[in-house]
Structure 1
C-alpha cells in the first residue's frame, strides 16, 4: 500500500520540512458518490461499492477507539474517507494534514500471495492501518505557537511526519497486526522474507530501510520496519512506542533521532544493528530446524532475480510461459524452452577452447547456476501496461493472458486476451470485465476466470469465442475467491476462498456449482491450488509457519508435503509428466525449480515461534472484534464537504518576479476544485487576482473564473522611454469553459470549448475601458507506440482557434502545437513545433508576443497570444505570426535548443537560445484540496538577437483548478 503522500509535495512547495513519501494518486471523480456519516468520519463511496463501504463505515468508530487506546491519541475532528476502485488493484493511503486529514481506500481485495493478503477482511486491515497513520501522525506538537503556525503552512503537518518512512509505515503495520490478529505481522511471508535476507547476508542497512532500488525494497519499511519496532517493544516494554511519540512532539521540539535516543538510550541505527544480529542468529536456528524436518527442493532450473509471475507448462512439456520483470525492464510474458540448448553449449565450448589455446593459464568461468533457458517468444507491455497470468490453451499454440486497459475516464480494468505465440497476434476477449486470471477448459471453448469488482472477487465462466460470461461462484465481502484451475477431466475447478480470516482450498463442480472445502480445519491459510491429477491438489500452505507446498487428496487421505524449502515456495504447477514446477524465494527475487513427480516429505510440526521475528508470530492478545455502529441512511454527496488549503504561486524570470498568495478549496473526491489568490510584482510585472472553480459533477467538466490582471512592459528595466507604453494592458473579466477527455491504452483525446467576457484598457495611456470578448475551441490528442522494449514513440498535438472582439476590432487567432518524442530508459529526445497566426485587422494587443511570463491570474485560453518563455524578455519576437521549433531531451531534467521567429508579413531574425530546465508536475490531490501544479527551474542562454550572450535563471510555480 502507498501511504501518507506528502513528502515530495511539501518539499516542492518549500512550506514545511516533511519526510512523508509522495504516493501518486489518480483522481477519478465519480458522478454519483454517496456518503455515510459517523461522529468522527465521513465515508464517501461510489454506488457500486455501497456494501463494502457500509461494512467499513459500521466499524470505523470502534476502530478509532481501539487504535487510540494503543497509540495514545485520537484526532478529535471529522476525517474524510474516500472509497473507490479506480484500477482493480488493492491500495490505501492516509493524508495527515492538520486541517483536512483524509484516507483513501481502494476496494479490490489483495491476492493471498501478496504481503497484504493475510486478513480477516480487506476493509478491516485498511481501516486499522490507515487510521493508525492518522492517529500517529496527527498528534499535535506541544511546542508553543507550533499549531497556529502549522495551520498557516501550505501543507500543515504535525511533527511526527518528519520521521523516516519506515517509522510511519512500520508502526501502522504493528498496529495492524496487534488489533486484527492477522495482517503482515501474523503472516508467513514477512518472516520468510526477513529470514531469507538474513541467511543471505542481505538484510538492508539502517539507511536502506526506506530505499526502493532493490527487490521488495518498497516493502522493507513495512516488513522490517514493523519487526524492528516489535523487537523494541519486546526489549523495552509494551508502552515504549507511545512514549517515543510523546518525546517527538514534546515542548522541547526534539527531532526523531533525539527523541529515540532519549527514549532508548541509544541511536536508532545502533539498536537496529543489534536487531539485525539477533534476526540473523534466529534465522540460522530456523534454517537448521527446517533441514531437520526434511527438505524437498528438487533441482534449480533457472536462477532469476526480481519479479516472477506464476509459471505455466505447455501441454507438450517442452515450454514454459511466465511473466518476468526486473528493476530496469518491465519485461513481459516470455515463453522459454525447457529442452537443453545444445547449440549454445557447443558455442561456449568452442569459445572456451579458443580462449585457452591463446592463454592456457586463463580460468574456466565458474557456472554455479544452470544456463539461461532459451526464449522463443515474448509478449511485451502495451504503453507500460504489462500482460500477466499466462495459461496455455490445450492446443499449445495460444496462451490466455490478462492486461489492465484504460476505460477512457481515468479508470482502468483488467481484461482477458488470447495470444497466438507464433504469429504474435493478440485478440481481446472481454471489455471492462475486471478479469484477473483465467484457466481454459480441456476443450478450449471456455475458461474459468477470477473477476474482481465492487470490492469482491468472484469466479466466472467465460465463453472464449464471444467473451460472454456468467457467474459460477459469487464472492463475498470477506469471502473472495483467488485463483482458478480447471481439473484435467474438465468437470471441476480448484480455487481458494477466504473463510474466517484464512484462505481455504475449494473444489467447485462446473455443472452444478456445488462447492467443497478441502484440507484440515486448522487456522492455517492454503492457497494457489493446482491439480496434480484428477484426485489430488497441490496448494501453498502456511501450516508449518513457513510456506510449503502440500499435497491434499480429494478422498481425504493423508496430507504430505511435496515441496519444502528454506525460504518460501510459491505458485505450484504440474507438467504433463507429473513433475512439479514452483518458485523459490531468495533475497533478490524468485528462482524456478522442479521436483520429481510424487516428491514427498512428511508434514512437520510448526516452527519454533520463540524464534521471533524469523518465523510467523501469531499474536492475538489485543485482537479486536470491532463493534458495529448503526448507521443513518446514506445521503447524496452533492458538492461534498468543503475544505481549504493555503496556496502560494510565483515566477521569477527575465521580466521580474511575481508572487501571489491565497487558498485552494474543494471537496475530498475532486468533484469541485477552486482557487482564490492575489498578488503582484515590481517593475511592471503581472499584478492581479483570480477566483476560479472547476466542477466535475458531470461530464464535461465546467470551469468558471473571474480575473483582473495587468502587465506593464513599459516599466520593465531597460524598456522605459522606448514607446513600450502602447503594449501596457489591464484585463478584467470572466471565463467559462467546458472540457472533456478520453484516454485509451495508446491514445488520448481532449477537447475544450469556452469563452470570455470582459474589458481591457491601457493604464499608462489613460485610455477608456473597451469591451473584450472571445470564444475558443481547443482540440488535443496523443498517440504512443511501443517501438522496442522500454522504448516508445509518442506524438502529442494541440490546435486552438480563438475569435472575438477587442478594442472595437474583430480578431481571429489560430495556434498549433505538435511534439514527437522518442522515449528510452537512458533518456529520450523530442522535437516540438509551435506556430500561430492572427488576422490582419486584429488590434495590436492581440498580436503574438514571445517571451516573458504568462499571467498567473488568468486562464491561458484568455491570453492565448502570450507565448511564455521565462528566460527571454517580453516581446523578443512579436507580430501577427510566430513560429518556434524546439529540439530537446525528455524527462524531468531536459536540455533544449529553441529557434524562434515572429513578424507580420515577413518573419524577422531567427532567434536561438539554449538552456536546461527541471520540471516537476504535481497531480491534483483532492483529499488535500490541492489542485494540479507545475514547478520549473531553469537556465537560458541566448545565442543571438537583442539579448545575445545573456544568461538568465528562472523559476515558476503555477496551479490549475
Structure 2
C-alpha cells in the first residue's frame, strides 16, 4: 500500500479490506493474483474513481478516496472503499492471469509492454465483468442499482440500446462511456443465467491456453455463436421486457419546457423566477454555466413563422415544417468552464450573481485539485474565487447570514461545514468518520432548517432535516423497498420537501408534507427523473434523461396518491442470491506498520526499441530499464546498433531522479557515427564521442503557468579520423509555459532561453538558444506557431538526424537533430527555424510547415505529417505504469524537403524508444 500524506487512516482500512476481498474472490473465482499487487491511495481531482493496470508480475490498482455522490451510478454500495477495492481487484485477477504457453509467458515476464498488451480485453468485457462481480459479491453495485436500471430501460424503450460495435463506448453518443459498465454487466449476467456461470468462466480459461486466442475466438468456441449474435438476442429480450413494463404505466401530464442540445444538470432558479441557470455539456465534453430566460421565446417563434412563410412564397406547393413542441428559451449569459476544471452546482446570490464550484490547484500540492467556491456577476462578467483549500462539493447559501453550508471532502472523509463568506471561517456541522458521506445540503427559505442526504456504511441514503437552532435531526420516511435517493428540494413555503427516489428499477418524484406527516408519490416511472424544481406552487420542472440527452420538462402537481408502505429505517437488503458474498463493511481500526516510501524497490523490464529513417538509418536499441512505482528513480542501460550500416552505434546509461525540490538527470554515453558533411567534405566523416552529462533543475507550478530552470554540464571527448579533442560545456536554462483553456478555444505559450559556454580542445566557445511557441485549439483543432534561434561563437553546430537514446538535443548541445535532414548533413554557427502546424484532434499527426535558415541564409523548407508522443508522468498510465511502459516515446513522420542549398528529397521516419528526459 502506498498513500499520500493525510490518507493513512483510509489506506489502513483499505489494506485490511483488501485481504477480505482477496479471500472472497479466490473462493468465487478459484483464481488469485500471480504476484503481489501495488495499491496507490490518493485523491488527485476530488472525484470518485480508480483504475487498475493488469500485469502478471507488476499488477497495480489506484484508489481515489473521495466517495461518490448520491446521484451517481456508483452510489449503491455498502461502502465506497469496499466497492472500489472489489471492482479494481477483480480487474487484476481477471486480466492478470498468466498464459499456459511457457515461451509467451517468458516474454511477458521480461517485457512490460508485451505483458500489459497481452492482458487487454475489449473494454465492455473488462469493465462489464468487474461490474458484474462487484454486484454479485456485494449484493449491491450497478447491476442492482435503480438509477442504472432506469437509464438502461429508457434507452431500451426508445430503441436506442447501443449496437455491439458501440458497446465499448468512446464516441459522442450520450452516456456512451457508461455502457461498457452498465450494459456490459447486464449482458454478461444474461449469459450466466441463460447458459451457466461455468460456460462464461470457461472463456477466461481458454484465453490463457497454450493455443493463442483473443476474446472473440475464446467466446465462439464455448457458445458456438459470436458475442455479437448473442448480444442481439439479449437486447431484443431486454427491450421486450422493458416495453411490457412501460405499457402498464399511465402517461404523465407533462410538456416539454425547452429544448437542449445534449446534457444538462444542476438547474437553479433565480429568486425572482425570471432566470434559470444550468450546467450544459456538449458531446465533446465541454461544459458551460448558461443562464436562460424563463419566459417564452417570442422572437424564436416569430423567426420560425417568417421562415415558413418565405418557404411557401418561394414554393406554394411545398409543405411547411411542423411547429415545434416548444421553442428554445433565450440564452442570456454563458460562462465556459476553464479546461477540465469544470463548473458545478450553481446557486443564486440575489438575481445578478451566481455562486458555483470549480476545481483549483492545491496550494500545497500542485498536482492535486479540489473544489473551491467562485462567484460570477452577470452584469459585469467578473469571476472571483471566494475560498481557498476548502475542498467542497455541493453547497447551499444562507442569503441573510452570508454563509454557505457545504459538503467538505478531505482525505476520504466527508462532513458538512459552515463557511462564512468574506472571512473563510470554517465550522464543522457534523462529525466525520470513514463510510459516512453527506450530499446535497439545501436550506429552507427561513434559513433555520437544513435538509441533506447522508449515507452510513451498510445502509441506504437517508434524507435528514436538521434544525439549525437546536441541532435536532429528523429522518424523512421513504417508500418501502427504495434504493436510490437524490436531489431534495424545499417547496416555496417550506411546508414540504420534494426528492427523487428509486425502487423496482424505476425513478419517481416524491413529496413529504411536514404538517400532514404524509409521503406522496407525484409520478409513476414515466421518465428517468432528476432535479425536481418548483417553477410555482403547482408547477414542477424536472430533468429527464433520454437516449439523445437531457430534456427539461414541466408538469402540474395535481391530486397525488399517498404512499402507505413507507420505511423509516434503512436496512440493507442484498439483491444477489449468490452463495459467495462479502461480509458487510466494517470499521477497520487495527493499526498497521508503515514506513517511508522506498525508491529502491525497483522493477525492471526488457527495453527494446527501434528507429527507421528512409535516408539510410535503421537503429536497434536493446537494454534494460527500471523504476520504482512512482517513477521517482528511473534508469536504463543499453546498446544501439545501426542495422543498415555504421551511421550510428554505441552504448549508454541513463538515470533520472525526481526529488521534492529538484530533478536530476545523468547520462553516460559512448557514441560512434559517420555521416556526410555536404557543405564541407566529400565522402564520410567518422566520429566517436564519449561523455558524462548531468542536469539539475527545479520548477514552480501555479494555476495556469509553470516556470522551469536548470543547470547542466558535460565532460567528455571527441575523436575524428584525424584528431582527438576534450569536450566540456555548461548550460543555464530558463523556460516559462502558460496555458488557458476555455474549452471551445484554448491559448498558450512556451518560451525558453539557454545560455551555454564550453571548450573543445583548446578552443573556447559560447552560445545561446531562444525558442518561442504559441499554441492553442479552436474547437477540436489544435494548432501551433513556433520560432527558434540558436547561435554559437567559435564552434560549429551540426544539423540533421534523429534523436535516439544515445544522442539527443538535451545532451548534445551542438548537434541539432532535425529528422527531415540526414545525420549531420549541414554545419553552421547560426540556425533559425520558423513554422507552424495544425491537426484535427489531440494526439493525432500534425500537418506542418517549417522554414530552415543557416548562417543567415534560407536553406530549405520542410512540410508534411509528423507525430511525437510519449507516455509520461502527466498521464495516469505514465504515472503508475511499469518500467517497461513509462517513458516510452513514439516518433513518426512523412516529410518533403526542398530548397536552394540542399537537394530535394522525401523522407519517412518511425521510432519507438525509451526517453528519460
Structure 1 and Structure 2 fold alike (TM over 0.5)? yes
Return closer, same or farther for 1:657/1:343 CA change in 2, 3 Å cut-off: same
Of residues 25, 46, 49 in structure 2, which corresponds to 1:91?
49
SS of 2:119's partner is helix
Greater CA drift, 799-808 or 47-56? 799-808
SS of 2:384's partner is strand
- Cα distance in 1 for partners of 2:464, 2:213 equals 54
Counterpart check, 1:585 vs 2:541: no
Counterpart check, 1:270 vs 2:232: no
Match of 1:508 in 2: 466
Match of 1:901 in 2: 853
Render the CA deviation track for 1:13-67: whole Å, top value 9, x for unaligned. Answer: xxxxxxxxxxxxxxxxxxxxxxxxxxxxxx1111211111111101111101111
- Cα distance in 2 for partners of 1:325, 1:562 equals 28
Match of 1:609 in 2: none
Deviation at 1:350, TM superposition (A): 2.6
Of residues 622, 630, 638 in structure 2, which corresponds to 1:661?
622
Return closer, same or farther for 1:70/1:327 CA change in 2, 3 Å cut-off: same
Deviation at 1:740, TM superposition (A): 2.0
SS of 2:239's partner is helix
Match of 2:640 in 1: 679
Greater CA drift, 377-386 or 424-433? 377-386
SS of 1:285's partner is helix
- Cα distance in 2 for partners of 1:582, 1:109 equals 26
- Cα distance in 2 for partners of 1:139, 1:874 equals 45
Counterpart check, 1:690 vs 2:643: no
Alpha-carbon contact 2:815-2:824 (below 8 Å) kept:
no
Q: Mapping of 1:32-51 within 5 angstroms?
A: 43-51=1-9
Match of 1:835 in 2: 789
Return closer, same or farther for 1:773/1:154 CA change in 2, 3 Å cut-off: same
Of residues 453, 459, 474 in structure 1, which corresponds to 2:416?
459
Return closer, same or farther for 1:562/1:750 CA change in 2, 3 Å cut-off: farther
Greater CA drift, 313-322 or 746-755? 746-755
Deviation at 1:525, TM superposition (A): 3.5
Match of 2:631 in 1: 670
Match of 1:397 in 2: 352
Deviation at 1:792, TM superposition (A): 2.3
Alignment size in residue pairs: 890
Alpha-carbon contact 2:705-2:739 (below 8 Å) kept:
yes
Deviation at 1:476, TM superposition (A): 2.6
SS of 2:387's partner is coil
Return closer, same or farther for 1:456/1:632 CA change in 2, 3 Å cut-off: closer
Match of 1:802 in 2: 756
Counterpart check, 1:320 vs 2:306: no
SS of 2:152's partner is helix
Deviation at 1:822, TM superposition (A): 4.3
Return closer, same or farther for 1:579/1:456 CA change in 2, 3 Å cut-off: farther
Of residues 397, 409, 425 in structure 2, which corresponds to 1:440?
397
SS of 1:452's partner is strand
- Cα distance in 2 for partners of 1:59, 1:271 equals 36
SS of 1:276's partner is helix
Q: Mapping of 1:244-323 within 5 angstroms?
A: 244-291=203-250, 296=252, 298-323=254-279
Greater CA drift, 703-712 or 280-289? 703-712
- Cα distance in 1 for partners of 2:846, 2:470 equals 61
Counterpart check, 1:172 vs 2:130: yes
Return closer, same or farther for 1:604/1:806 CA change in 2, 3 Å cut-off: farther
Deviation at 1:599, TM superposition (A): 6.3
Return closer, same or farther for 1:297/1:875 CA change in 2, 3 Å cut-off: farther
Alpha-carbon contact 2:46-2:369 (below 8 Å) kept:
yes
Return closer, same or farther for 1:529/1:835 CA change in 2, 3 Å cut-off: same
Return closer, same or farther for 1:353/1:309 CA change in 2, 3 Å cut-off: same
Match of 1:562 in 2: 522
- Cα distance in 2 for partners of 1:160, 1:662 equals 21
Match of 1:713 in 2: 675
- Cα distance in 1 for partners of 2:27, 2:813 equals 57
Render the CA deviation track for 1:449-505: whole Å, top value 9, x for unaligned. Answer: 222221122222122223332222234321111111111110122111112242111
Alpha-carbon contact 2:192-2:199 (below 8 Å) kept:
yes
Deviation at 1:784, TM superposition (A): 2.9
Return closer, same or farther for 1:513/1:656 CA change in 2, 3 Å cut-off: farther
Q: Mapping of 1:334-733 within 5 angstroms?
A: 334-393=290-349, 395-407=350-362, 409-443=366-400, 445-499=402-456, 500-520=458-478, 524-532=483-491, 533-554=493-514, 557-575=517-535, 577=537, 579-597=539-557, 600-603=560-563, 619=577, 621-625=579-583, 632-639=592-599, 641-653=601-613, 654=615, 656-681=617-642, 682-713=644-675, 722=682, 725=685, 728-733=687-692
Deviation at 1:136, TM superposition (A): 0.8
Render the CA deviation track for 1:755-791: whole Å, top value 9, x for unaligned. Answer: 33x21121422x3452x3322222222223457x612
- Cα distance in 1 for partners of 2:649, 2:220 equals 50
Match of 2:713 in 1: 755
TM-score, normalised to structure 1's length? 0.88
Counterpart check, 1:181 vs 2:135: no
Return closer, same or farther for 1:126/1:640 CA change in 2, 3 Å cut-off: farther
Deviation at 1:512, TM superposition (A): 5.0
CA root-mean-square deviation = 2.6
SS of 2:312's partner is helix
- Cα distance in 2 for partners of 1:735, 1:577 equals 72
Match of 1:225 in 2: 184
Deviation at 1:577, TM superposition (A): 4.3
Return closer, same or farther for 1:621/1:495 CA change in 2, 3 Å cut-off: farther
Structure 2 runs not aligned, ≥5 long: 567-573
- Cα distance in 1 for partners of 2:713, 2:448 equals 64
- Cα distance in 2 for partners of 1:282, 1:871 equals 62
Render the CA deviation track for 1:418-437: whole Å, top value 9, x for unaligned. Answer: 01112111111012322223
Structure 1 runs not aligned, ≥5 long: 1-42, 607-615
Match of 2:868 in 1: 919
Deviation at 1:134, TM superposition (A): 1.0
- Cα distance in 2 for partners of 1:943, 1:384 equals 41
- Cα distance in 2 for partners of 1:709, 1:600 equals 84
Return closer, same or farther for 1:277/1:880 CA change in 2, 3 Å cut-off: same
Return closer, same or farther for 1:605/1:242 CA change in 2, 3 Å cut-off: farther
Alpha-carbon contact 2:137-2:576 (below 8 Å) kept:
no
Match of 1:194 in 2: 152
Match of 1:77 in 2: 35
Alpha-carbon contact 1:195-1:567 (below 8 Å) kept:
no
Q: Which structure ranks higher in relative contact order (CA pairs < 8 Å, sequence separation ≥ 6)?
A: 1
SS of 1:140's partner is coil
